[in-house]
């Protein structure tokens, strides 16, 4: 499946968003021409996403259920002359916050990226590095491939640190732009997604693959069921019609959570804890086989433990073919296994893990801590594994409800779907410990005003929340937030800022190339 090329904004955005997007695109293209003294050759576009359910389990290789949002990252691009050494000039429409950067593309070796620096252009470099590697392989160029130079102007309206995957949208757009600039007219969605997943890790955040999958593969009107085993696969899922209509509303806490800054004690620590949990479970149940190498950030995962455990104990040769009902029972067994064997509620020290895993401190560091900056005295493996297995069960139940929905049971469906989302929030708050008081309050207010389900979305520790709200309750929920949350904290908050804070979201479209920039 290839990334589509659009010739009209109507192909990309819902009808009610086209007028404002047209103004935004016209301004971007006008600024590009003014800055670089020539028109842009094309625009690469990738959206942010909101995750409906399946939080913090993609990097353990369990299924998730996100949808794209209308907000996106645009890269207007023109190719520089091939007669000069290749270089990048990249500017941002928000030039006060993101100053212009210029750099040459090295004639050999990788594009250098300083992961310790909070530098906005690093996300473009991630896409450039990954796309260059892929083009080198596709063209069998050995070490000789060097990308063409480009002039780039970026405009993004996915709020940073909001849990809506602004970084993934930027990396996906960047990789897409580099592929297109280097003459690739047919760009495979799966290839683009897989290279974006790996390349974003160069900035020091070892994310899973949900964000990039949602950004690239999304289809307007459908959410996405994303699987990672035996390989990356994406299935569009229509949201069923209900009466009252099922509506997803996103509310920003205005607590910014930058994964690169907070990663050592938040996001990256959770990745490490999940990987350690898989290793310790494998040890205590005495698996004969080593955990299989896989596409998770540190190379082994709870899903790898899951599949190996049932292969050795129940003869399941290919667990990706296990019927869903049986897979759910497996997860329930793993929850019990975790409760029985990972018994230290307070967590495990490095020394305790070394004793249990039969490793030295140096070996523990090399295996789990060498590629990620992490700060922790205790690693809460029990809690992290319980969340992952429990959340994987909730995803299965959520998908089962959607598949069996009948029009005559709308209220029951909304309540049951919402109940699963509420359970996710409880688990994120109490077990995975990735919520914050502001997100908890937004969820409480929404439920009190009629939302069926409320939970954080994205990494957590701030950012956005997502709420399943019957359409006839949307205004009541919005009023509750405005009066009890936003205006109490920021009495002078403007209507424009409130419009940014609360968004009624419908499933949006994914990555696009827009060629005919003269006609929007």
Provide the residue ranges of all domains of the chain, joining segments of one domain with +.
Answer: 5-52+65-222+507-514, 242-258+434-489, 267-387
Specify the pLDDT at position 159. 81
User: Could you report the per-residue pLDDT of 273-314, keeping only the tens digit for each?
Assistant: 999 999 999 999 999 999 999 999 999 999 999 999 999 999
Q: What beta strand segments (E) does 54-130 contain?
A: 65-79, 87-92, 101-104
Show the tokens assigned to 319. Answer: 């667990």
Q: How many CB atoms lie within 10 A of CB 389?
A: 24
Specify the pLDDT at position 74. 97
Show the tokens assigned to 260. Answer: 């690169």
Q: pTM of the predicted model, to two decimals? A: 0.92
Specify the pLDDT at position 160. 78
Show the tokens assigned to 332. Answer: 């329930």
Best CATH choice for the domain 5-52+65-222+507-514 from the list 3.30.470.20, 3.40.50.920, 3.30.230.10, 2.60.40.10: 3.30.230.10
Specify the pLDDT at position 431. 98
Specify the pLDDT at position 204. 63
Which residues of the chain register pLDDT less than 70? Answer: 141-143, 204-206, 257-263, 407
**Rounded CA gap, 19 and 37, in Å?**
26
Specify the pLDDT at position 134. 87
Specify the pLDDT at position 30. 96
Q: Does domain 242-258+434-489 have CATH number 3.30.300.30?
A: no
Specify the pLDDT at position 414. 95
Q: What beta strand segments (E) does 19-105 contain?
A: 42-53, 65-79, 87-92, 101-104
Specify the pLDDT at position 52. 96
Q: Of 22, 146, 33, 30, whose CA–CA distance to 84 is shortest? A: 146
User: Could you report the per-residue pLDDT of 343-362, keeping only the tens digit for each?
Assistant: 999 999 999 999 999 999 99
Burial of 200 (0-12, 13-18, 19+ CB in 10 A): buried
Class of CATH domain 267-387: mainly alpha
Report, in angstroms and rounded to the nearest whole number, the Rg of the chain calculated over CA atoms: 23
Please say if 307 is a catalytic residue. no
Of the residues 58, 155, 211, 307, only one is catalytic, namely: 211
């Amino acid at each position: 499946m290839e990334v589509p090329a659009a010739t009209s904004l109507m192909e990309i955005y819902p009808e009610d968003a086209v007028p404002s997007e047209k103004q935004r695109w016209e301004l971007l293209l006008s600024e590009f021409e003014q800055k670089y003294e020539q028109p842009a050759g094309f625009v690469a576009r990738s959206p942010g996403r909101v995750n409906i359910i399946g939080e913090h389990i993609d990097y353990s290789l369990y299924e998730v259920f996100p949808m794209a949002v209308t907000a996106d990252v645009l890269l207007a691009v023109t190719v520089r002359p091939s007669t000069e050494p290749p270089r990048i000039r990249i500017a941002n429409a928000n030039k006060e916050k993101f100053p212009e950067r210029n750099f040459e593309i090295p004639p050999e070796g990788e594009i250098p990226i300083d992961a310790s620096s909070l530098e906005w252009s690093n996300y473009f470099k991630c896409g450039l590095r990954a796309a260059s590697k892929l083009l080198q392989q596709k063209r069998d160029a050995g070490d000789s491939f060097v990308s063409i130079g480009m002039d780039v102007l970026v405009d993004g309206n996915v709020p940073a640190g909001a849990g809506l995957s602004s970084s993934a949208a930027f990396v996906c757009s960047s990789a897409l732009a580099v592929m297109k600039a280097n003459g690739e007219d047919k760009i495979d969605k799966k290839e683009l997604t897989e290279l974006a997943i790996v390349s974003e890790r160069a900035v020091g955040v070892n994310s899973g693959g949900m964000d990039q999958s949602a950004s690239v593969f999304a289809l307007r009107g459908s959410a996405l069921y994303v699987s990672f085993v035996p390989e990356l696969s994406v299935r569009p899922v229509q949201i069923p019609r209900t009466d009252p209509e099922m509506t997803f509303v996103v509310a920003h806490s205005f607590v910014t959570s930058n994964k690169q800054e907070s990663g050592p004690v938040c996001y990256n620590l959770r990745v490490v804890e999940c990987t350690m949990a898989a290793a310790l479970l494998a040890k205590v149940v005495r698996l004969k086989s080593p955990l299989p190498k896989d596409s998770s950030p540190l190379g082994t995962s709870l899903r790898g433990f899951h599949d190996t455990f049932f292969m050795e104990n129940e003869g399941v040769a290919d667990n990706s073919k296990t019927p869903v009902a049986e897979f759910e029972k497996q997860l329930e067994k793993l929850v019990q296994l975790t409760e029985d064997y990972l018994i230290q509620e307070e967590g495990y020290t490095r020394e305790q893990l070394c004793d249990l895993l039969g490793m030295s401190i140096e070996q523990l560091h090399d295996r789990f801590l060498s590629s990620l900056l992490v700060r922790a005295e205790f690693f809460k493996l029990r809690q992290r594994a319980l969340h992952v297995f429990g959340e994987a069960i909730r995803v299965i139940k959520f998908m089962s409800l959607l598949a069996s929905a009948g029009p005559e049971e709308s209220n029951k469906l909304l309540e049951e779907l919402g109940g699963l989302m509420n359970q996710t929030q409880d688990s994120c708050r109490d077990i995975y410990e990735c919520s914050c008081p502001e997100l908890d309050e937004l969820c409480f207010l929404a439920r009190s005003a009629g939302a069926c389900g409320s939970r954080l979305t994205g990494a957590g520790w701030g950012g956005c929340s997502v709420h399943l709200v019957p359409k006839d309750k949307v205004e009541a929920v919005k009023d509750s937030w405005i009066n009890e949350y936003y205006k109490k904290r920021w009495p002078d908050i403007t209507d424009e800022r409130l419009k940014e804070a609360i968004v009624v979201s419908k499933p949006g479209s994914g990555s696009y190339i827009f060629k005919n920039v003269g006609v929007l």
